Amino acid sequence: MKCERTAYSCGIVIVFGSDVSAEEFADDLAIAAAEANATLASIFFCQEKFEAEALARAISDRAPDLRYAGCSTAGEITPAGYSEGQIVAMLFPADRFSASATLIEDLSTCSMDDVVTQISDMRREMENGKQESDRSSIFSVLLIDGLSLAEEAFTSALYWSLDNIPLIGGSAGDNLRFHNTKLIMNGQVKSDSAIVIFVHSKVPFRVFKTDNFVPTTQKLVVTASDPDSRTVMELNAEPAAKAYAEAIGIDPGSLGPMSFASHPVVVRIGGDFYCRSIQKLNPDGSLSFFCAIDNGIVLTIAQPKGMVESTSEKLREVDEELGGIDVLLGFDCVLRKLDAQNRQSFTALSALYKDHHVAGFCTYGEQFRSMHLNQTLTGIAFGAAPADLAE
C-alpha cells in the first residue's frame, strides 16, 4: 500500500496519505475496506492536493461497493497528529456499524420544513425494529458547506428532527481561502449542501465538545450588521475593525487569522458563553464572521487559556467514561490550530491528539446537538469492542 493504515480494536481502520494520486488512494482504500469488511467510509481531504471530482470518480471505480461521505478541509488530523495536504479515511466495519446517509442540496434556498420531514423519516427508518435500549446506540454526523451561511438554521432544524439522538459535525473548509468548499458522497460532488449520516453502533461511544476561552470584561455591541452575509459593519457605533482592534490592543491594519484566533469574541446564551469567531477583515473595515451576527448582540472579548490542558482534561474525562478511548473522530476549528501555533502549543496539542487516536479535520465551524459553534473541538470517541464482538 502507498497509504498508511492504522487499525483499532473496535474494528475501525484509518487510511491516510499525502504523496499519492486519487487513484492510488482509492486502490488502497478498496483493499483496506475489503480486509476490514467495511461498507462505509468518512473521507476528509485537502483540495489543493486532491481534486474532489477526480477523487469521487476514483473511489467509485476502485471501490464501487463502498459507501462514503466526506468533505474538503482547512487541515487534516491523522493518527500522527495535525497535518496538511493529506487525505484521511475512517472505515467502519459492517458487523459493528450500520449506517444510512442523505445529501441535502441547495442549502441557501431549501425549505427547513422539508429538511425536518426528510430527516425525521430517515430517523424512523433507522430506528425501525430496534428496541428502545438500542436507540442509545444511534448517533448522527453532519458535514456541511462551511461557506453556505446556513449552518445555524440547518443545524437547529436537523436537531429538531433527531428526537434527542446526539449530533456532532463539522463545516467543510478550503484552507482559509474562503472561495469554495466541496462535499463528496457516493460519486457526487457538491457545494451549498450538507450530508447527514445516521450510525447504529455496537461499539460504545461518547459525543463531546470542549473549548478553552474565558470571557473578559470588554464588551462590543453590534450596531450595524448584515446578518444574511454574517458581516458586521459597526461595533459600538464605530467601524467594526477599528473598534475590535482597539479592544484587543493592536493596529487595525494588523488584523488577520492569527489575531482573530487569539482574541475570540463570545456571546452569552442562557448561562453559557459560545464563541462567534471572526472569519476575515474586509477592505471596507467591516468584519465577516463564521457564525450569524445581528444588531444589538453584545459580544464579549474572550481570552483563550490552556488549550492543551483543557483539551487533555476533557479527553481524560471521556476516556474514563468509556473505559479507554480506542479511536476518536474529531472536528476541530481551524482557529484552534492557528491559536495553538501562535501560542507555541501546536506541537503539544498535536501530540495529545496522536496519543488519543484522533482522526478528522480542521473546520470552518463545529456542530454539537442543536448548536453551530466556533473555536471548539467536537467529536465522537469510540471504546473497545464488547467481548462478544472481539475476535
DSSP string, 80-101: TEEESS-EEEEEEETTTEEEEE
Question: Would you tell me how many other CB atoms lie within 10 Å of the CB of residue 383?
Answer: 20
What letters, b where the CB count within 10 A reaches 16 and e where it falls short, cover 57-73?
bbbeebbeebbbbbbbb
For Cα atoms 83, 89, 168, give the angle at the middle one, nearest 5 degrees. Answer: 85
Sign of the Cα pseudo-torsion (123, 124, 125, 126, in order): positive
pLDDT digit of tens for each residue in the chain (391 aa)? 899 999 999 999 999 999 999 999 999 999 999 999 998 999 999 999 999 999 999 999 999 999 999 999 999 999 999 999 999 999 999 999 999 999 999 998 999 999 999 999 999 888 886 665 577 899 999 999 999 999 999 999 999 999 989 999 999 999 999 999 999 999 999 999 999 999 999 999 999 999 998 899 999 999 999 999 999 999 999 999 999 999 999 999 899 999 999 999 999 888 888 889 999 999 999 999 999 899 999 999 998 789 999 999 999 999 999 999 999 999 999 999 999 999 999 999 999 999 999 999 999 999 999 999 999 999 999 999 776 665 5
Say what the pLDDT of residue 390 is: 56
**H helix runs in 146-227, sequence order:** 151-162
Residue 261 and residue 342: Cα distance in Å, rounded? 9
* pLDDT (0 to 100) of residue 136: 86
Instruction: With 0.75 as the threshold, say if the pTM is over it.
Output: yes
